[in-house]
Copies of this chain bind each other. A is one copy, B any other.
Amino acid sequence: MLTISQLADHVGVTVRAVRHYHQRGLLAEPGRDASGYRRYGAQAVIDLIRIKTLTDAGVPLARVAELLDAEPERFSQAVAEIDAALAQRIRDLRRHRRSLADLAGGERLFLPAEVVDFLDRLRVLGVGARTVQMERDNWIMLSAHSPGQVPGWIAQKRADLADPLYQRLYLAYDQALDWDVDDPRLERLVEEMEPYLERQLPGGANAGSAATELVASHTNDYSPAWERLNRLAAKKIAELSGRG
């Protein structure tokens, strides 16, 4: 006969776990010797290996208890389900490994691929780090707020950036971050932006949505010049709207 630690060691569980399985009724309490010590036979080894095999597979103890005295048919059906869950778990872990690899490097983890590409495009064009970060933060907020809209918006943004005029305006906007609040160039910049602001009119491509406000309010955090730029742009949109 085996002592509790011989049993536990041989099967690869702790003594405490064996006692726990007794308490939960998963493993039959064996006979005791003269000292009150539990003494185990071969059947206990078999039962405990069964329990360990199932718990290792992630099966909760309550389910293990059911399965231990289930019909062979139901048992093998359950085993098939457990196996499928294990296979799924393996796929999940593989995904987690890939996510983990992205943790150190860049924003791949936080944004859809096309947005990451767009941000890389900005860097190539010489856009400053703070502006890129502002864009990144805006796209994160937009993704959380209206994920379904992001593909359309980013497609337009990328099309815009192919236009040399838009590129020039974007780089000016980037520079404006550090301009003085009352720099006269701010007004001129808004004038030049007119064709793009029209999109935000009712019926336009980026019709004045909660998302637009989301972006504008956030942009204000970066500098007074940008805050003023947002105010001027809002005024311009109101003018265009009144005229239309």
Q: Which residues of A come within 8 Å of B, CB atoms?
A: 1-2, 6-7, 10, 41-43, 45-46, 49-50, 53-54, 56-57, 72, 75-76, 79, 82-83, 86-87, 89-90, 92-94, 96-97, 99-101, 103-104, 109-110, 136-138, 140-141, 143-145, 147, 214, 217-218
**B42 and A140 form a contact (CB under 8 A):** yes
- Residue from A2, A43, A90 whose CB has the most chain B CB atoms within 10 Å: A90
10 closest A-B pairs (Cβ-Cβ)? A42-B137, A10-B144, A42-B140, A56-B96, A53-B99, A45-B140, A57-B96, A76-B104, A86-B97, A90-B93
CB contacts (< 8 Å) of A109 on chain B: these are 49-50, 53
Q: Is the CB of A41 within 8 A of B141?
A: yes
Copies of this protein, total = 2
Q: Closest approach, in angstroms, between the C-beta of A242 and any C-beta of chain B?
A: 29
* Contacting residues, chain B, for A90 (C-beta < 8 A): 90, 93-94
A67 → chain B closest CB, angstroms:
9
Closest Cβ–Cβ distance, residue A228 to chain B (whole Å):
21
